[in-house]
Structure 1
Amino acid sequence: MGERPRWVTLYDPRVPYARASDDTALYYEVHGDGEQTLLLLPGQSNGHHWWNSARPDFDSVFRTVVLDYRGIGDSDKPDTDSYSTKGFALDALAVLDDVGAERVHVYGTSMGGRVAQWLAAEHAERVDRLVLGCTSPGSPHGIERGENVRRALGQRDARAARHALLELMYTPEWMAANPGPYNTIGVRGTPSHVLRRHRRASAEHDSWDALPSITAPTLVVHGTDDVFNPTENAPLLAKRIPGARMELIAGARHAYFEEFRSVASPLVLDFLTEVS
């Protein structure tokens, strides 16, 4: 027999995997012991570690589910045209089915917020309450990052590009006090074909026409100093989703949920636990 491709997961029966509709193995973890399930969705080219800092704030109240997107971490890494924000939403449903969660709260940040939009718009029966953090409706209606940001991230010097990404995520003051490691800047060892397909999936997202169909109570959260995913996207989403409310966190950049955790987590918890 030939050697298995390096992007195919070798199953360990002790580790939780769900199977997507195309048989892709999807790694996930379940934490907490609350009666209500909360699905936490990470950003582009990231996995469950994205939530390491903030997740404990929710574990005491909910059963939290975190996952590795296809291509990331311990999930399979197919080199196929199976990567899209709609497709990631279907993968998330496969995970929820595997843990037996019929109706859940969903909190997605960055690209995870784009995935969460499709969950709420196209699978409304599965979503109780929805939180969209530092995200956008996508092109052509969303506000795109500036050319200066693209140039900074596209530098050939990998260390300079990494530093530019960190400065988009966190304030210099916070980085000085928290030297890492940082769980929001990608998963080490991710294959180039996955990075390329994740970038395309996020870039091609366009939920504009679907947003008015969202019926779940929705909270839109964004940092006022986010230029990675410009803050102007927050009011676009809040106005487009019926009944949505918006909260802006002063001084926060893209990773508001980590650096401004003491503000963001209670804000989200209050929303998720309020009595309708």
Structure 2
Amino acid sequence: MPHAQAADGAALHYQLRGSGAPLLLLAGQSNDHRWWDPVLDRFAAAFTTVVLDWRGTGGSDRPDTDTYGTADLARDVVAVLDHADIDRAHVYGTSMGGRVAQWLAADHAPRVDRLVLGCTSPGAPHGVERGPAVRAALADPDPEVSRAALLALMYTPAYTATHPGPYRTLGDPAMPAHARRRHLRASARHDAWDALPRIAAPTLVVHGTDDAFNPTANAPLLAGRIPGARSLLIPGGRHAYFEEFADEATPPVVDFLNAAPDTVR
């Protein structure tokens, strides 16, 4: 797995797979590139996929410094694209990866071809935050209880009953505590509301209808704030809709990314 070097010297590990136009896939908070493992082959069949380990995860460096903000992580992504010699890519960001993708498209517009924002939010104070019951369950001091709560927020009971795992969306278990705190702070402090109207890339906003982890109400907020954006709701989908409902979610995303320029808005 090659690695790029961030502006502060941190090593950023990434992986290329497939062929065709480049597609950058951005994972959620506290997760590495394995977030995309269950669906990566589907995208690699149509694109040259780029997946990376956020700083603090996987094979990337884990500095205990104030360099984990979503705009900082967007600059890390640019360093990866530079190292991979990719001038311009489609971008599909989910959860915190979607927050990073917003800054990437707004602040580094020449690097983004078409943009997909999945199960994400514009951030506080304009976004819709998860409810207090969800927060309490995730913060339970018993790790088994908090893990079960997170699993239920990601997938439906019917899915987990027939798919015993491993589940790639529950976080990198090797992350140090300082990196987990910094990832959490990055998501909590994200606020791209004023930047969203600057996004010029054709944009598709995707969300599961049953997502309580990042409430579905954020989808119309994003779509309404980004010029010309379209939205796609996945019935029954929770936060990991892209995995559990891959048959419903992946084809329209691929079609959107492959559409002719005059048909994507």
TM-score range, shorter-chain basis?
over 0.9
Work out which of the residue numbers 214, 219, 223 in structure 2 matches 1:238. 223
Match of 1:122 in 2: 107
SS across alignment from 2:169: coil
**1:28 aligns to what?**
14
Q: C-alpha offsets along residues 44-102 of structure 1, whole Å, 9 cap, x if unaligned?
A: 00010000011111101110000000000110000011111001100001000011000
Aligned mates of 1:272, 1:196 — CA distance in 2: 34
The answer for the alignment partner of 1:51 in structure 2 is 36
- Aligned equivalent of 1:135: 120
Are 2:264 and 1:272 aligned?
A: no
Which structure has the larger Rg? 1
Residues 8-52 of structure 1, C-alpha deviation per residue, up to 9 Å, x if partnerless?
xxxxxxx40100000000000000021x10000000000100000
Identity of aligned residues (%): 63
Distance 1:166 1:275 in 2: 38
Measured in 2, the distance between the counterparts of 1:161 and 1:214 equals 36
Deviation at 1:188, TM superposition (A): 1.2
> Deviations along 1:90-121, whole A, 9 cap, x unmatched?
00010000110001000000000000000000
Provide the rounded CA distance (Å) in 2 between the counterparts of 1:40 and 1:55.
9
Name the CA distance, whole Å, in 1 between partners of 2:109 and 2:63.
28
One-letter identity of the residue aligned with 2:28: G
Task: Report SS of the residue matched to 2:215.
Answer: coil
- Once the two structures are TM-superposed, the CA of residue 247 in structure 1 deviates from its matched residue by 0.5
Q: Where in structure 2 are the equivalents of 1:1-276 lying within 5 Å?
A: 15-34=1-20, 36-276=21-261
- Cα-to-partner distance string for 1:103-155 (whole Å, 9 max, x where unaligned): 10000000000000000001111100000000000000000000000000000
How far apart, in 2, do the equivalents of 1:266 and 1:145 lie? 28
SS at match of 2:233: strand
TM-score after normalising by structure 1: 0.94
**What amino acid sits opposite 1:28 in the alignment?**
Y
* DSSP-derived class of the 1:52 partner: helix
**Equivalents in 2 of 1:169, 1:190: separation in Å?**
20
CA distance in 1, matches of 2:163, 2:245: 13
User: In structure 1, what is the Cα distance between the partners aligned to 2:87 and 2:248?
Assistant: 30
The aligned residue for residue 3 of structure 1 is none
Q: 1:191-230: CA deviations, max 9, x gaps?
A: 0000000000010000000000100000000000000000
Amino acid at match of 1:125: P
Give the SS at the match of 2:13. Answer: strand
Aligned-partner Cα distance in 2 for 1:193–1:69 = 14
Q: What RMSD over aligned residues (CA atoms) do the two structures have, in Å?
A: 0.5
- Give, in angstroms, the shift of residue 259 of structure 1: 0.1
* Separation of aligned partners in 2, 1:136 and 1:59: 26
